[in-house]
Amino acid sequence: MASLFSSVKVGALALSHRVVLAPMTRLRTIQPGDIPSPMMADFYGQRASDGGLEIIEGVSISILARSYLGAAAFYHDNQMEGWKAIANAIHAKGGFVFMQLIHGGRQSHVDMTGGVDPVAPSVVPFEGVALTEDGFVPVSPHRALDIEEIAGVIEEFRVAARRALEAGFDGVELHGANGYLVDEFIQDGTNKRTDAYGGPIENRARFLREAVEALISVWGPDRVGVRISPSGEWGGISDSNPEATFSYVAKVLDAYKIAYLHVIEPRVKGDYTLHEGHPPVAVKYLRPHFTGPIIAAGGFDGDSAQAVVASGDADLVAFGRHFSSNPDLPYRLKHKLPLTPYVRAAFWGGDHRHYSDFPTYDGRLNA
């Protein structure tokens, strides 16, 4: 029976424990030009542990891919040094780091996309918000990508993956969850196309396959992960048969022999409230279809994380909220120590307060 604190092989990485820092959109890229801030290097460095894995928050692959003011991005060379500093801070403590790459799709506003309409597989209006200089505002109307444009978006994923490699990261994760562009292609509530990228799931998964292949062309399969959110509702997303859809997706990804499949449990609802107490159901039905490591995320504490790993339904567990306020979370979970409460008001933007100023259990900053 596996333990949350036993070693595990994840693709090319040999990890010493199974507590993963989940990607969290913390909106601290506050310097002009979407350049990562020094406090981001502090935050990620503080949460690094010897042999532990961190997954960097969704990093926009282009200006058109942006959804939120202050969100991470990597689409020009001037951002390189900021990302190198983050990778170096994690590696200095013996940790590993993957960069999550994202295209926001229809969840955006023209103030964030350079004045052009956000894009999606199809035009399916929804009531969402984007963060701009004016605060959270309703998203702008979006348009459907022309089939001739899709190859260009896939190339942007490849270029961003190359930049992550140059910045010294250990791998990349494709954000295929939470109603952003990749997820919009996968699910039939947002994909109404009638061409090679729409209709049956074999077609709706084409964009996902091409994006994964682009990342693999840079990194190889054992340094590429994918995050999905079966039955998630964030971003107005939906599917008529999510279990069948995501079982197929898991089989497709399994064939590539990628490093891991990262699964958000549907305990996180459309308003981003967390419905705790529900068992992790997604990893259970996906486990037969994916033979590699599975990372489970969404509403776990130490006991439930240990239980899902012991059951074999997941191999690792990603923590967001608890890791936000406990830089030494693996140590605290292992030794059953009290956790510092997280500060929800500081999740989406701000400065170092309630971000990189949380102490470890012994009262020191985890430098």
Range in 178-182, 220-224, 251-255, 269-273 with the lowest mean pLDDT:
269-273
In a domain, 3, yes or no: no
**Count of CB atoms situated within 10 Å of the CB of 270:** 14
Q: Is the pLDDT of residue 77 over 70?
A: yes
Q: Assess if residue 363 is contained within a domain.
A: no
Q: Which of 229, 221, 201, 222 is nearest to 286 (CA)?
A: 229
What is the CATH number for 175? 3.20.20.70
Whether residue 355 is contained in a domain is answered as no
Distances (CA, A) of 258 to 65, 90, 91: 24, 23, 22
Q: Helix, strand, coil: what percent of the chain each, to 5?
A: 30, 20, 50
Q: Is residue 52 part of a domain?
A: yes
User: What's the number of domains the chain is made of?
Assistant: 1
Of the candidates 192, 202, 214, 228, the residue with the CA atom closest to the CA atom of residue 120: 192
In a domain, residue 142? The reply is yes
Domain that holds residue 82: 8-346
Residue range 294-298: average pLDDT? Answer: 96
Q: pLDDT value at position 299?
A: 87
pLDDT digit string, tens, across residues 229-258: 998 888 899 999 999 999 999 999 999 999
Nearest Cα to Cα of residue 237 among 302, 189, 309: 189
Give the per-residue pLDDT at 363.
79
Reply yes or no on whether the pLDDT at 193 is more than 70: yes
Strands (E), the chain: 8-10, 13-15, 19-21, 53-60, 96-102, 119-120, 129-132, 135-138, 143-144, 171-175, 224-228, 260-264, 294-297, 316-319
Q: What is the mean pLDDT of residues 104-110?
A: 97
The values of phi and psi at residue 47, to 5°, are -95, 5
Average pLDDT rounded to a whole number, residues 252-274: 81
Asked whether residue 271 carries a pLDDT value surpassing 70, the answer given is no
Q: What was the pLDDT predicted at 117?
A: 98
Residue 233: per-residue pLDDT: 85
Query: What proportion of the chain, given as a percentage, has pLDDT over 70?
Result: 96
What six digits make up the tokens of 362? 């012994």
Which of 336, 328, 289, 314 has the alpha carbon at shortest distance from 2? 314
pLDDT interval class at 272 (50, 70, 90) = very low
- Average of per-residue pLDDT across 171-189: 97
**Residue 2 domain-assigned?**
no
Using a cut of 0.85, tell me whether the model's pTM lies above it: yes
What's the pLDDT score for residue 270?
Answer: 47
CB 51 within 8 A of CB 9: no
So which residues are the catalytic ones?
Answer: 180
Q: Is residue 200 part of a domain?
A: yes
Say whether pLDDT at 1 is over 80: no
Kindly state whether residue 26 falls inside one of the protein's structural domains: yes
pLDDT at 184: 98
pLDDT tens digit sequence for 303-346? 999 999 999 999 999 999 999 999 999 999 999 999 999 999 99
